[in-house]
Every structure is written in structure tokens, then in C-alpha cells.
Amino acid sequence: MKLSLPKRKSKQGEPAPAEGDAVAAEPELSRSERRARKTAAAKHHSAEGAKDVAGWVDSRTNATGIYTALLSRHVPKGTNWFYTLGSATMFIFAMQAITGVFLAMYYVPSTTQAYASITHLTNDVWMGEFVRGMHKWGASLMIILIFLHMGRTFFFGAYKYPRELNWVIGVVLLVLTTVMGLTGYLLPFDQRSLWATVVANNITASGPVVGPYLADFLRAGPEVGATTLSRFYALHMMLIPGLIGALIGAHLFLVVKLGTTAPPWVRGTRPKGALDEQSVPAGVPSSDDAEVPVAASAAATDADPAATESAAEPPADAPADADEPDGDGDGQRPAAEPDEGEASA
């Protein structure tokens, strides 16, 4: 059986071959069929269709597509509860952001009023103690969750190719989170806050060459003072959360783009038609002639035209080579069931 190969569409002039070309087949629709489609589309975008607000939004934003990519994407077999640590960390970050915004409604970043405003919101404001408690304990929880998430990534080998960049982004996020901890610790401006900040600045200053200047930058001067508090407040409220949010976006984008890894104890399953590593020594393509056309046609049955084209390429010269001895390296790509091949290195 010989496959008819779709030819590449030429850009200009030549009439496209009709077989296997969906675009060329489009004008073949009957007039009534075209009218029906047009009406359906018009109805979908008309005021009648707007009753379905979700559909109206979806047709303009592809929201369901985004939803599918984010939440209905394929995950490997063996995905388990350890894979929720990243989402848990992100949830805590959201909690910190929300509680932080509401704490800022009562907090006064002034050296003379900061402590009083904190005691006021803790003791007097309804639920203030609870909201502040969530923020305070959430900070510690976020650090713990980040390390657990990091440990999961490390022990599952999920930092390896192609996910190294996501590991790097994650490390930057960890550093930024500790900076959040450092800057937030000063804000109550009690004795413990102040001296923790003094010591942290002294540690910063003991870094070689840039340390003294970095400490001066953080303190806004040679000693911890009034400007230090405003500075830490601005970093804690605006700069670092913005950076963390942006980097979480990049982190998630890469997770969705690259997918997640299976746990190391789950054996990977080869997709249909994948190469058998043993039958393909590096640089020496092997052949498995008898199987090629069958496998290719099997793979092509339920694929779209583009996939058919690429999948159907190998058998192009297969019939010509059919009577050659196996494994002579004639540049032919094998696309057969790997275990049935006789080339075994």
C-alpha cells in the first residue's frame, strides 16, 4: 500500500493539490452549508448570543483555552500530593498580599507611631489580631513551604533539562521572600525588630567591598534611623511584592509550557512511534523496513494533515529500499514499534 503524500503548498500561482489539503477543500462546501455556518457565527456574536455572558467573554478572550492550558493540562502518571507544594506557596503569597494590604490600612510607617499603630491594630481593631497573626505566621509558613517545594523539585529531579531556568527563577523567588522577611521584621519597630535589623545590617556590611555600601543603602545612612523604616516599608510594600508577583508569573508560564515531571519511581512510557534508544546508535540511523509503512500509516490515521505530512515522510523511499539488508545505514528514519525491530546494536 502506498501512501499518497501531500505536496507542499506553493505560495503563488500553482493550483494546490486537492487531496489531503483541508484549506483547498474548503470551497467545496455546498452553498447551504456555508450559509448555515455563517448564520451560526453571526448568532454567536450577536446580541442574542450575549445572553451567554461567559460565551461572549470567552469568544473574545479565549478564556476557556487559557483555563484548559492552566488547569486541565495533562500531567504525568504518579503526580501526587507533593506536587501541590508550589500551589500552596502561591496561595500563602496571595494570603500575605491580601492581609498585607489590610494591615497597611492601619499601619503608620513612622518611627514614633509605628509601634503604637501596631499595638492599636492588634489590640483594638476588630479581628486585627487575627489578620496580623495570619500575616505573621504566614510569613514563616511561606518560607517553610518554599523549602519543601524546593526539596520536592530536587529529590524528584524536576530541576533537570529543560526546567533549569525555572529552578533559577525559584531560587530568586526564595531570596526575594527572605528579603520580604527581613524588611517586614523591622516594621513593628519594637526592640526586637530594631536589633534584628541592626544585626542584619551589620552582617550585610561585613560582606567584602560592596558590603559597607549595601548596608548604607539599606539603612539610608551610617546608622539605622527614621529613613530606614520608610525604606524597608517601601521595599516590603511595593518593590519586592511586585518582583515576586512577576517572577511567579514567569515561573507558572514555564510550568505550563514545559509540563511537570513524573516522580522518579514512575517508569516513563514511550509514545507510539518513538525511537528505541538501543536501535539507534548515535549518528547511525538504522532501518526497520518492514514495519515502517505500517507504523506510519497507523500513526497517521487519526492525526491532522500537518502531522500526517511529517509522519508520512519517512516511508517516501521505504518501498525502494525494501529489499536491502537491514541496518546498512541508508539514511532512512525508523518509525516502527521499537521492540519488534531486529537491529539491537
Partner 1 sequence: MSDSENNNSPAEDPPRVTLPDAEPRGYFEGESMTRRKVFTTASLALGGVASMAVVLPVVGFAVAPLFERGRERWEAVGKLDDFGSETYKQVVFTETPGIGEVGKTTAYVRKGNPEFDEDPDEYLAVSTRCAHLGCPVRFVQAAKNFICPCHGGVYDFEGKRIGGPPVRPLDRFQTRVRNDHVEVGPRYSVTNQLKAVRARDPGEFTGGIWEYLYPPRPSTFPPPSN
> Which residues lie near partner 1 (CB under 8 A)?
10-13, 111-112, 189, 191, 194, 198-199, 201-203, 205-206, 208-209, 211-213, 215-217, 219-227, 229, 231
Closest CA to 85 of 134, 146, 140: 146
- Under DSSP, the state recorded for 29 is S
Closer residue to partner 1 (CB): 193 or 286: 193
Minimum CB–partner distance for residue 112 and partner 1 (Å)? 6
With 0-12 / 13-18 / 19 or more C-beta atoms within 10 angstroms meaning exposed / middle / buried, residue 220 is middle
Minimum CB–partner distance for residue 264 and partner 1 (Å)? 43
Q: How many CB atoms lie within 10 A of CB 64?
A: 14
Closer residue to partner 1 (CB): 119 or 202: 202
Query: Hey, what amino acid is at 120?
Result: H
Closer residue to partner 1 (CB): 204 or 279: 204
CA–centroid distance for 323 within its chain: 48
C-alpha to C-alpha distance for 309 and 20, rounded to whole angstroms: 9
Minimum CB–partner distance for residue 193 and partner 1 (Å)? 9
Closest CA to 158 of 66, 76, 93: 76
- Under DSSP, the state recorded for 290 is G
Closer residue to partner 1 (CB): 177 or 201: 201
Q: How many CB atoms lie within 10 A of CB 158?
A: 19
Q: Dig out the grid coordinates for 257 from the structure.
A: 509550557
CA–centroid distance for 238 within its chain: 24
Residue 277 CB contacts under 8 Å (≥ 6 apart), including other chains: none
Minimum CB–partner distance for residue 230 and partner 1 (Å)? 11
Closer residue to partner 1 (CB): 12 or 30: 12
Minimum CB–partner distance for residue 105 and partner 1 (Å)? 24
Closer residue to partner 1 (CB): 61 or 206: 206
Minimum CB–partner distance for residue 11 and partner 1 (Å)? 5
